[in-house]
Amino acid sequence: MLLRLPVITAAMLAVIGLAHADDDELAIQGIGISRDVDCQGKNVGVYGAENEIALTGQCRTITVHGSKHKVSFEQGQTLSVSGSDNTVNGGRAKDVVVSVAKNTVTTTLEAGDEPGTLKATGANNKITLVLSGPSRLDVGGVEQVVEWSKADGAPNPEVRSSGALNSIKRKK
Protein backbone atom coordinates (compact mmCIF):
# COMPACT_ATOMS: atom_id res chain seq x y z
CA MET A 1 0.00 0.00 0.00
CA LEU A 2 2.83 2.43 0.79
CA LEU A 3 4.19 2.03 -2.74
CA ARG A 4 0.90 3.29 -4.18
CA LEU A 5 0.79 6.41 -2.02
CA PRO A 6 2.87 8.63 -4.43
CA VAL A 7 0.70 7.58 -7.38
CA ILE A 8 -2.50 8.22 -5.43
CA THR A 9 -1.18 11.62 -4.34
CA ALA A 10 -0.23 12.54 -7.91
CA ALA A 11 -3.65 11.44 -9.17
CA MET A 12 -5.31 13.63 -6.54
CA LEU A 13 -3.16 16.59 -7.64
CA ALA A 14 -4.22 15.97 -11.25
CA VAL A 15 -7.89 16.01 -10.24
CA ILE A 16 -7.36 19.22 -8.27
CA GLY A 17 -5.78 20.64 -11.43
CA LEU A 18 -9.01 19.96 -13.31
CA ALA A 19 -10.73 22.50 -11.12
CA HIS A 20 -8.13 25.11 -12.10
CA ALA A 21 -8.42 24.69 -15.86
CA ASP A 22 -10.52 27.18 -17.79
CA ASP A 23 -11.82 27.32 -21.36
CA ASP A 24 -9.00 29.59 -22.50
CA GLU A 25 -6.27 27.39 -21.03
CA LEU A 26 -4.22 24.73 -22.72
CA ALA A 27 -4.21 22.19 -19.88
CA ILE A 28 -1.74 19.33 -19.54
CA GLN A 29 -2.96 17.09 -16.75
CA GLY A 30 -1.71 13.74 -15.60
CA ILE A 31 1.35 11.79 -14.60
CA GLY A 32 4.51 11.29 -16.63
CA ILE A 33 3.38 13.10 -19.79
CA SER A 34 6.13 14.28 -22.14
CA ARG A 35 5.25 16.72 -24.92
CA ASP A 36 5.93 19.98 -26.72
CA VAL A 37 3.17 22.59 -26.65
CA ASP A 38 2.81 25.75 -28.78
CA CYS A 39 1.27 28.33 -26.45
CA GLN A 40 -0.52 30.22 -29.26
CA GLY A 41 -0.86 33.26 -26.98
CA LYS A 42 -3.01 31.33 -24.49
CA ASN A 43 -2.82 30.45 -20.82
CA VAL A 44 -1.12 27.11 -20.18
CA GLY A 45 -1.51 24.90 -17.11
CA VAL A 46 0.61 21.90 -16.18
CA TYR A 47 -1.00 19.81 -13.43
CA GLY A 48 -0.29 16.45 -11.81
CA ALA A 49 3.19 15.00 -11.36
CA GLU A 50 6.38 14.17 -13.22
CA ASN A 51 5.38 15.74 -16.54
CA GLU A 52 8.10 16.99 -18.94
CA ILE A 53 6.71 19.86 -20.99
CA ALA A 54 8.41 22.23 -23.46
CA LEU A 55 6.33 25.37 -24.09
CA THR A 56 7.11 27.30 -27.27
CA GLY A 57 5.99 30.71 -28.46
CA GLN A 58 4.25 33.43 -26.50
CA CYS A 59 2.21 32.27 -23.48
CA ARG A 60 -0.03 34.45 -21.33
CA THR A 61 -0.15 32.86 -17.86
CA ILE A 62 1.89 29.71 -17.28
CA THR A 63 0.73 27.70 -14.27
CA VAL A 64 2.80 24.77 -13.01
CA HIS A 65 1.08 22.98 -10.12
CA GLY A 66 1.93 19.60 -8.64
CA SER A 67 5.20 17.81 -8.09
CA LYS A 68 8.35 16.88 -9.95
CA HIS A 69 7.41 18.57 -13.23
CA LYS A 70 10.15 19.66 -15.65
CA VAL A 71 8.94 22.59 -17.72
CA SER A 72 10.73 24.88 -20.16
CA PHE A 73 9.21 27.96 -21.80
CA GLU A 74 10.17 30.75 -24.19
CA GLN A 75 7.99 33.66 -23.06
CA GLY A 76 5.09 34.30 -20.70
CA GLN A 77 3.40 37.26 -19.09
CA THR A 78 3.03 35.48 -15.75
CA LEU A 79 4.73 32.35 -14.43
CA SER A 80 3.16 30.72 -11.38
CA VAL A 81 4.87 27.67 -9.86
CA SER A 82 3.36 25.87 -6.86
CA GLY A 83 3.77 22.46 -5.34
CA SER A 84 7.08 20.75 -4.69
CA ASP A 85 10.21 19.67 -6.49
CA ASN A 86 9.26 21.32 -9.81
CA THR A 87 11.98 22.55 -12.17
CA VAL A 88 11.07 25.40 -14.52
CA ASN A 89 13.59 26.92 -16.94
CA GLY A 90 12.56 29.70 -19.17
CA GLY A 91 13.06 32.60 -21.39
CA ARG A 92 11.18 35.66 -20.20
CA ALA A 93 8.32 36.47 -17.82
CA LYS A 94 7.03 39.77 -16.42
CA ASP A 95 5.60 38.40 -13.18
CA VAL A 96 6.88 35.30 -11.39
CA VAL A 97 5.19 33.65 -8.39
CA VAL A 98 6.84 30.68 -6.65
CA SER A 99 5.19 28.97 -3.69
CA VAL A 100 5.22 25.87 -1.49
CA ALA A 101 8.58 23.99 -1.37
CA LYS A 102 11.74 22.88 -3.14
CA ASN A 103 10.94 24.35 -6.55
CA THR A 104 13.76 25.47 -8.86
CA VAL A 105 12.99 28.33 -11.24
CA THR A 106 15.35 30.01 -13.72
CA THR A 107 14.13 32.85 -15.95
CA THR A 108 14.64 36.40 -17.18
CA LEU A 109 12.43 38.89 -15.35
CA GLU A 110 11.15 41.48 -17.84
CA ALA A 111 9.81 44.92 -17.15
CA GLY A 112 7.02 46.56 -19.08
CA ASP A 113 5.14 49.70 -18.08
CA GLU A 114 5.58 48.40 -14.52
CA PRO A 115 8.63 46.71 -12.98
CA GLY A 116 8.95 42.95 -13.36
CA THR A 117 7.99 41.21 -10.12
CA LEU A 118 8.97 38.11 -8.19
CA LYS A 119 6.87 36.91 -5.27
CA ALA A 120 8.32 33.91 -3.44
CA THR A 121 6.67 32.20 -0.47
CA GLY A 122 6.99 28.79 1.14
CA ALA A 123 10.28 27.07 1.90
CA ASN A 124 13.47 25.94 0.24
CA ASN A 125 12.73 27.30 -3.25
CA LYS A 126 15.72 28.21 -5.46
CA ILE A 127 15.15 31.03 -7.93
CA THR A 128 17.71 32.35 -10.41
CA LEU A 129 16.85 35.54 -12.32
CA VAL A 130 18.33 37.76 -14.99
CA LEU A 131 16.83 41.23 -14.53
CA SER A 132 16.26 42.97 -17.87
CA GLY A 133 14.83 46.19 -16.44
CA PRO A 134 13.29 47.67 -13.29
CA SER A 135 12.21 44.89 -10.94
CA ARG A 136 10.78 44.17 -7.52
CA LEU A 137 11.68 41.04 -5.54
CA ASP A 138 9.33 40.13 -2.68
CA VAL A 139 10.71 37.13 -0.80
CA GLY A 140 9.04 35.57 2.24
CA GLY A 141 8.95 32.19 3.86
CA VAL A 142 11.88 30.11 5.05
CA GLU A 143 15.23 29.23 3.50
CA GLN A 144 14.49 30.71 0.08
CA VAL A 145 17.50 31.23 -2.20
CA VAL A 146 17.18 33.99 -4.80
CA GLU A 147 20.16 34.78 -7.02
CA TRP A 148 19.97 37.57 -9.58
CA SER A 149 22.11 39.17 -12.24
CA LYS A 150 21.45 42.21 -14.42
CA ALA A 151 21.29 42.63 -18.16
CA ASP A 152 23.17 45.66 -19.52
CA GLY A 153 21.53 48.87 -18.35
CA ALA A 154 19.15 47.27 -15.84
CA PRO A 155 19.01 48.88 -12.39
CA ASN A 156 19.39 47.01 -9.12
CA PRO A 157 16.09 45.51 -7.94
CA GLU A 158 13.86 46.81 -5.19
CA VAL A 159 13.94 44.04 -2.56
CA ARG A 160 11.40 43.27 0.16
CA SER A 161 11.98 40.32 2.44
CA SER A 162 10.37 38.64 5.41
CA GLY A 163 10.54 35.23 7.04
CA ALA A 164 13.66 33.41 8.18
CA LEU A 165 16.98 32.28 6.75
CA ASN A 166 16.32 33.65 3.25
CA SER A 167 19.22 34.50 0.91
CA ILE A 168 18.77 37.20 -1.76
CA LYS A 169 22.04 37.92 -3.53
CA ARG A 170 23.50 39.20 -6.75
CA LYS A 171 24.99 36.31 -8.68
CA LYS A 172 28.72 36.64 -9.27
Q: 46-86 pLDDT, tens per residue?
A: 999 999 999 999 999 999 999 999 999 999 999 999 999 99
Counting every residue written for the chain, the total comes to 172
Dist. CA 55–CA 136, nearest whole Å: 25
Dist. CA 140–CA 45, nearest whole Å: 24
Return the DSSP state at 121. -
Question: Where are the chain's structural domains?
Answer: 2-170
Q: What is the pLDDT of residues 95-138, one digit of tens each?
A: 999 999 999 999 999 998 999 999 999 999 999 999 999 999 99
Any residues with CB less than 8 A from the CB of 83 and at least 6 apart, and which? 13, 64, 65, 66, 67, 69, 100, 103
Strand, coil or helix: 18: helix
Q: What pLDDT does 172 receive?
A: 79
Q: What pLDDT does 7 receive?
A: 46
pLDDT band of 24, cuts 50, 70, 90: confident
